[in-house]
Amino acid sequence: MKDLNKYIAIIQSGGVVAFPTETVYGLGADAWNPSAIQKVFEVKGRPSDNPLIVHISNVDQVHDFSSEIPESARVLMEAFWPGPLSLVLNKKPEVLDAVTAGLDTVAIRMPDHPIALEFISQTGPLVAPSANRSGRPSPTKASHVKEDFGENFPVIDGAATRVGLESTVIDLSSDKPAILRPGSISKKELEDVLGIEVEEAFFHQVEKPRSPGQKYSHYKPKAEVRWLRNNEPTNDESAIYLLLSKAENESNIIHYNNNLTHLAAELYDRFRQADIEGYDSVVIEEFNESDSPIASALLNRIRKALQ
Ligand code: TXA
Ligand code: MG
């Protein structure tokens, strides 16, 4: 395991440190330190009405943040933690307003990454938004964090993240479970485990998303993102093509062999690459929501980048 002591000391003295999770890199700060959390908002340039997810390393820590843990939450923790699922629960009164942006609920997850778990077990629970500047794609590599925050920014390097898209956020604070943000854990997987229907309450499914973060237009590279048109040739050298079924390989044509999990893992890296290398557009081959469990999350992130 990496030597984490230097980074643990930064958190303990009220600083912020970027660390890897299985989804994207997070910008960690002590979940009980208001001035550390303030720094997270400042560093990211994040609107203060957008709440943060608390990251824990041990299921028992949930009780520090919520005293109303429904059976549905227990079942989902057992099935999916550690993993890319954030649970929105009614919060305890002592949870800081800076964490929840004044809401009555708090989002909590246990990341499935050995470095994250070791780190949090030493620091205690951390708030951790994605470690990008607001409006930039979430970082899936340590180098992305440095692109946004500078070469000297403290980041624990854990190589490229496995999932590449942010966690599924599910609201369990009322009796009707609702997905507030789709992620790699799909509606079907959640319904199979819960045995009841799960609503979808996110951008493009409903007019008014219930998760504050969903109203902000994230993930937009400078390059124009668009779908590949029917029978469109892939010969524009100022475009980067992300293809699924077509088998071409050029430096600007990346072929994912119908593997949407692989495309999800690389999407944000490709957005960043397009901007660094000065491409005018990112052209993506279309796919269906039923193609893979991660298709819904991938469509959600791509559609946000289209506008
Ligand atoms: O995969 C992830 O969840 C990553 C990694 C680092 O763990 N974190 C992440 O955090 O994506 P962030 O802050 O970029 O996104 C958190 C999302 C936002 O859309 C926010 O509005 C929503 O979760 N959220 C947080 N607390 C909430 C709450 N109490 N009620 C509703 N939505 C909440
Ligand atoms: Mg984010």
Neighbours of 27 (CB within 10 A): 28
Centre of ligand 1 to C-alpha 52, Å, is 5
Q: Is 22 in the pocket of ligand 1 (CB under 6 A)?
A: no
Q: Is 296 in the pocket of ligand 1 (CB under 6 A)?
A: no
pLDDT at 77: 98
pLDDT at 241: 97
> 169 and 107 in contact (C-beta within 8 Å)?
yes
Buried b / exposed e across 227-245, counting CB within 10 Å, b at 16+?
ebeeeeeeeeeebbbbbbe
pLDDT digits (tens, 9 = 90+) for 72-112: 999 999 999 999 999 999 999 999 999 999 999 999 999 99
pLDDT at 212: 72
Residue 213 has pLDDT above 80, yes or no: no
Give me the residue label for tokens 């079942």.
Answer: 75
d(CA 107, CA 169): 8
Find the ligand nearest to 135 CA. Answer: 2
Residue 217 has pLDDT above 60, yes or no: no
Residue with CA closest to ligand 1 atom 29: 106
Any idea what DSSP says for residue 92? P
Q: What separation, in Å, do the N-terminal and C-terminal C-alpha atoms of the chain show?
A: 42
pLDDT digits (tens, 9 = 90+) for 128-165: 999 999 988 999 999 999 999 999 999 999 999 999 99
pLDDT at 225: 96
- Angle at 115 (CA atoms; ends 53, 159), nearest 5 degrees: 100
Q: Is 164 in the pocket of ligand 1 (CB under 6 A)?
A: no
Angle between the 260-276 and 142-149 helix axes, to the nearest 10 degrees? 30
Q: Is 132 in the pocket of ligand 1 (CB under 6 A)?
A: no
Neighbours of 90 (CB within 10 A): 18
Q: Which of 104, 211, 218 for mutating ligand 1's site (highest number of atoms within 8 Å of CB)?
A: 211
Tokens of 200: 């979808």
Name the percent of the chain lying above pLDDT 90. Answer: 87
> 95 and 106 in contact (C-beta within 8 Å)?
yes
- Give the β-pairing of 53-55 and 126-127: antiparallel
- Indicate the fold that domain 5-200 takes in CATH: DHBP synthase (3.90.870)
User: What pairs with residue 103 in β-bridges?
Assistant: none
pLDDT at 218: 60
> 91 and 1 in contact (C-beta within 8 Å)?
no
Alpha helices in the chain (DSSP H): 5-12, 34-44, 62-65, 71-80, 97-100, 114-123, 142-149, 187-194, 260-276, 295-306
With H, G, I as helix, E, B as strand and everything else as coil, classify residue 3. Answer: coil
pLDDT at 249: 73
pLDDT at 214: 65
Beta strands in 145-289 (DSSP E): 168-171, 178-181, 199-200, 224-227, 239-243, 253-255, 281-284
With H, G, I as helix, E, B as strand and everything else as coil, classify residue 234. Answer: coil
| Single pTM value for the model | 0.96
> 61 and 121 in contact (C-beta within 8 Å)?
no
Average pLDDT, the chain: 94
Domain ranges of the chain: 5-200, 224-306
Find the ligand nearest to 179 CA. Answer: 1
Q: Is 127 in the pocket of ligand 1 (CB under 6 A)?
A: no
With H, G, I as helix, E, B as strand and everything else as coil, classify residue 129. Answer: coil
Find the ligand nearest to 136 CA. Answer: 2
pLDDT at 215: 64
> 191 and 197 in contact (C-beta within 8 Å)?
yes
pLDDT at 187: 98
Residue 248 has pLDDT above 90, yes or no: no
Q: Is 66 in the pocket of ligand 1 (CB under 6 A)?
A: no
Residue 192 has pLDDT above 90, yes or no: yes
If pLDDT is split at 50, 70 and 90, which confidence band does 211 have?
confident
pLDDT digits (tens, 9 = 90+) for 263-284: 999 999 999 999 999 999 999 9
Tokens of 270: 């490709």
Q: Is 88 in the pocket of ligand 1 (CB under 6 A)?
A: yes
Residue 20 has pLDDT above 80, yes or no: yes
pLDDT at 15: 98
If pLDDT is split at 50, 70 and 90, which confidence band does 210 have?
confident
Cβ-based neighbours of 231, under 8 Å, separated by 6 or more: none
pLDDT digits (tens, 9 = 90+) for 35-73: 999 999 999 999 989 999 999 999 999 999 999 899 999
pLDDT at 216: 59
